[in-house]
Amino acid sequence: MPKEVKDAKIAILTCPFEAPKPKTKHNIDITSAESYRKLYKMEQNYFTDMIKCLKDGGANIALCQWGFEDEANHLLLLNKLPAVRWVGGVDIELIAMATGARIIPRFQEITPDKLGKAGLIKELSFNTTNETMVVIEQCSNAKAVTILVRGGSKMIVE
């Protein structure tokens, strides 16, 4: 993922970036290389359709409440479409309000009028740790400020 996205058009998703799983218990028997290739191609097409929905809707970054399968993550990277996964439910609602976005429950419902807008989205990493933070700036309807306080121990921070 690039460290910065300028003039971000944000798709806020509450649907997982995963292949569909049956609601009942079924077994898939893969007995040959050809049947494996067929299953793999079907999964590839499913993820490609998801990414096509994002691109056709005009999104240049996706925020998702759920996780991504490895294959979806790989295809997002190939299509140069940055995405953030495991965004909490409360955070999703606050981001939607600040950016003017509508929360999208299905990929087929992505349209340009449901996208949020921000001037800049960037990933900050902290020098001494592997911690990172995604910052969304220049939102049209932002009414919140985040103050990050760091210290060597809890006593120093307090």
Which H helix or E strand runs over 5? strand 4-13
When pLDDT is averaged across residues 118-124 and rounded to a whole number, the result is: 90
> What are the start-end ranges of the E strands in 14-66?
61-64
Per cent of the chain over pLDDT 70 is 97
CA-angle at 123, arms to 93 and 91, nearest 5°: 15
At residue 61, the pLDDT reads 92
| Cβ count within 10 A of residue 65 | 18
| Distances, alpha carbon 141 to alpha carbons 6, 94, 99, in Å | 17, 10, 6
> Does 158 have pLDDT greater than 80?
no
Q: For position 4, what pLDDT does the model report?
A: 87
Q: Residue 16, Cβ neighbours under 10 Å: how many?
A: 17
- 130 vs 90, higher pLDDT: 90
pLDDT of residue 1: 60
**pTM (2 d.p.):** 0.80
